[in-house]
Amino acid sequence: MNTPVTIASKVFIRTFYLENASFFLLVLGVAGGFMRDVEHIALAEFFVRKPYLVLIPFAFWILYGFKILSFNTACLEKPQNQFFYQLVFFSRGIRFMISGLIILTQFMPAILYGFFLMATAVKHTVYDSFFVVIGSLIVPVLALVIQFMRLIHNPDQGKKTSLLIRKMNRTIIRPYPLFAIEWLSRKKTLMLLGTKAFGVLMLLAVAKLYTTGEYDFRLMGMALTVISGASAQLMFEIHRFDNHHFALVRQLPITCWKRISSLLVSILFLILPEAGIFITYYPADLSSPEMIQGIVFFVTILFFWYALLYRKNMDQEAFMKIVFWESMLIFVLILFRVPVWGIACVAFLAAVFRMSTYYYRFEYGTTTYRD
């Protein structure tokens, strides 16, 4: 019994918390950084005031449950973890206990908050809410345990392409610039949504900053620099797609200009939400050429981040450090009235130079010798 528990904790629990460390840090930062103790208590009191209000944290727990489910499914699909299917040879009781232990530990942050809500409900003698909180915790945990046991019991369920998708595949051939975007939306959904949400909110906030006074375009330029800095992680993933997940493209006879133009089209698709907000909420004081400048600047800086990755192999941390310092430099340049189009031109030329010089010399990530 000890061995499967140890293995389960290493494969599912430790990995889950390690892989989602930044997510938990973000949640802790938001909870601990922006809210004081009294505000936490006030919020909990609000949630338990009426039983139906418990549905608000319950909705978050369901979302968190989906996160756990998708992690466990992906984890079990990895070839190195498929030995875990051997769990099926244990008795139903042991399987249930191990699955329960995994899910309970993964769900622990929600459970702890649930206890806090229960304590608040008891304190205010709102027993209806107390029982609704218990139910709201039991339901997702039990559903996740059952689903986990189902996954263990039915390995290799076989993926199928639905009739509708097959019909679409027959009529539509995916254009190459959309490959990376589709990959991002499927594999890095949270990152993509988070970055887009950040970009859109940032642009909305900056566009509404000066509704009365004369608007300074530099402010827009600086906002776009910050958003492009945040979007650099998406460019890192696109670069990873082009050179690792779809490395076949390196073998194809495609000219450098075609590779660059395909990438620029991909970037244009990628920035559609931000571009939409930028155009819709563009300050009336500013001119149309400045608006075009802004979009060109945004696209160019993203291209610049992508091309940066061909200079040498670097991990995301090292890359983001460079992005941070170069963003700061661009920020200062804009502040000192260096025209945005000038920065865009220099960034574009530097990116083209990098791509044309280093593309064929670049080798993705392999530092060890493999057959």
Partner 1 sequence: MLYLQNFAKSYSGHRVLEIPRLEFSPGVYWIKGENGSGKSTLFKSLAGMHPCQGSIRFADGISLHEHPVAFRRHVNYAEAEPVYPGFLTARDLLHFVGKAKKSPPQQREALTNRFGINTYAENSCETYSSGMLKKVSLALAFLGTPRLIILDEPLITLDESARKILFELIKRYITEYNAIILLSSHQLLEDSSLTINQTLIIQHKTLQPV
Q: Which is nearer to partner 1, 61 or 179 (CB)?
A: 179
User: Nearest-CA neighbor of 1 among 89, 91, 94, 99?
Assistant: 94
Q: DSSP states of 299-362 as a string? A: HHHHHHHHHHTTTS---HHHHHHHHHHHHHHHHHHHHTT--HHHHHHHHHHHHHHHHHHHTTT-
250 is a contact residue toward partner 1 (CB under 8 A)? yes
How many angstroms separate the CA atoms of 49 and 46, rounded?
5
Does 269 bind partner 1 (CB under 8 A)? Our answer is: no
Kindly state the smallest distance separating residue 252's Cβ from partner 1, in Å. Answer: 4
For the CB of residue 359, give the shortest distance to partner 1 in the complex, in Å.
9
User: Which one of residues 22, 125, 255, 288 is an interface residue with partner 1 (CB under 8 A)?
Assistant: 255
Q: Residue 230: CB partners within 8 Å, gap ≥ 6?
A: 195, 198, 199
Q: What string marks each residue from 201 to 240 as x (binds partner 1 by CB under 8 A) or -?
A: ----------------------------------------
Cβ 209 vs Cβ 223: under 8 Å: no
By CB under 8 A, tell whether 67 contacts partner 1: no
* Only segment of 222-230, 330-338, 342-350, 358-366 that touches partner 1 (CB under 8 A): 358-366
Out of 45, 209, 245, 265, the only residue in the binding site for partner 1 (CB under 8 A) is 245
DSSP state at residue 166: H
Task: Round to whole Å and give the CA distance between 127 and 123.
Answer: 10
CB of 304 to partner 1, least distance (A): 23
**With contact defined as beta carbons under 8 Å apart, do 291 and 221 qualify?**
no
Phi and psi at residue 288, to the nearest 5°: -65, -45
Site for partner 1 in 139-178 (CB under 8 A): 158-161, 165-166, 169-170, 173-174, 176
What minimum distance in Å lies between the beta carbon of 74 and partner 1?
Answer: 12
Q: Which residues bind partner 1 (CB under 8 A)?
A: 158-161, 165-166, 169-170, 173-174, 176, 179, 182-183, 186, 241, 245-248, 250-255, 360-363, 366-371
